[in-house]
Structure 1
Amino acid sequence: MRRRNLIFSLPLALGVPTLGWAADAEAGDRPDKPPGYPVSLDQMQQAVAQRFPRRYPVQGLLDLDLKAPRLRLLPEQNRLRAQMAVEAAGPALNRRHQGSFDVDFGLRYEASDRTLRAHQLRLARLEFPTLQPRVTEMINLYAPALADQSLREVVLHELTAKDLAAVDAMGMQPGPITVTNNGLVIGLVLKPL
């Protein structure tokens, strides 16, 4: 515990700005607030909203229009859920149909561009209450691919070079990402030799 507190308090003692990496050196003593760089749900929501709305054609029969997702934290699973409104329309349908689409996903850090990205996607639910069951079945055949296309590797947050300067100087790098009740916390690990 002392080493961890030393690692997170060292930049502060040296007067190095860390923009949140060691905002609370005592946080390591509380399981509800792990030490590291915090990312709020609002920050992630703003980042993901920039990639929507999106349209996906289904075999020339219909188009699915996905609206910007509403993100939910799932700390007990260390994952997030994206809940999206979706519209189905096209030659195979006589009118527009409203539905919803939920996808759960984990997070990973991509060092090449300093981003947090969605990965390990799992379709949680796809519903169209007003569609005929056979059309819903057809859409459900494409649902895993739709989940993959719409959210795979979507950027949820980008760290700046300034965010990482002090961490890099200590020989550390972003490590495990923990989903909490308030957002994410990016932990630190030693760089490999």
Structure 2
Amino acid sequence: MPRPPLRPHPDDDASVPGRRGLLLAAAGALLGGCAGLGLAPQFTLTEARLQALVERQFPRRHRLLELFDVTLAAPRLTLLPERDRLAADWPLEVADRFGGTPRRGRLQLDSGLRLEPSDFSLHLRQVTVQRVALDGVLPVSLQALGAAIAERLLEDLPVYRMSDERLQQFRSLGFTGGRVTIGGQGVEIALHRQAPPPPQAAPFGLPR
């Protein structure tokens, strides 16, 4: 029997009175049915939905080597299903803390995704910077340094978090982790349910 796909939790629909409660009740019933049948719930974050979620987290500012302030604007995401990765094109601005004109540029990278078991959030993993470009000529050595620093800064960056209500639903049904696949329709998340403990053997000579 195919696993019924679930949509991401519709947080934006909370403005409609009573709608969130109805959706949560329906989702809980569906999840309970999946658990009873031994099926793993599966839902998909479309590229547009993931883009909207990531945009909420930017702009961000990072300090590098106590010398530069780097401001990252919201990236443009592109799914790469053939590689099970996504690409990100990040506008950025680098300002010298001790003066000078800020320089604008772009940071282009690709990354996989991992599911954090503790809260089912999605994080970047194995970030690989493909290109760092700033206004003016940037020496190759500085490009390599910038790429290495960017990979370190962005590794494990969270890009999606569940609502508290849905997280509690999944936990109450015994789901503890899952699998992430970047497909043609979006980021597919299939949760795994914790296996029940094996039955304990009865003491020797006593009936079960």
Is the pair's TM-score, using the shorter chain for normalization, greater than 0.5?
yes
1:27-176 matches, cutoff 5 A: 36-90=42-96, 94-128=100-134, 130-134=135-139, 137-149=141-153, 151-160=154-163, 162-163=165-166, 165=169, 169=173, 172-176=175-179
Aligned-CA RMSD value: 3.2
Alignment deviations for residues 8-39 of structure 1 (CA, whole Å, 9 cap, x no partner): 49xxxxxx7338x88xxxxxxxxxxxx82111
CA change 1:148–1:8 in 2 (3 A) is: same
Contact 1:48 1:154 in 2 (8 A): no
Contact 2:129 2:150 in 1 (8 A): no
Aligned residue in 2 for 1:17: 26
With the length of structure 1 as denominator, give the TM-score of the two structures.
0.68
Give the count of matched residue pairs: 167
Alignment deviations for residues 82-105 of structure 1 (CA, whole Å, 9 cap, x no partner): 210112332688533321101211
Gaps of 5+ in 2: 6-24, 32-40, 197-208
CA change 1:176–1:126 in 2 (3 A) is: same
Gaps of 5+ in 1: 10-15, 23-34
Tell me which amino acid in the other structure corresponds to 2:118.
S
Aligned residue in 2 for 1:30: none
Contact 1:84 1:100 in 2 (8 A): yes
Contact 1:70 1:82 in 2 (8 A): yes
Sequence identity percentage: 27
- Alpha-carbon separation, structure 1, partners of 2:170 and 2:137: 57
Q: Secondary structure at the match of 2:118?
A: coil
Larger radius of gyration: 2
Contact 2:132 2:146 in 1 (8 A): no
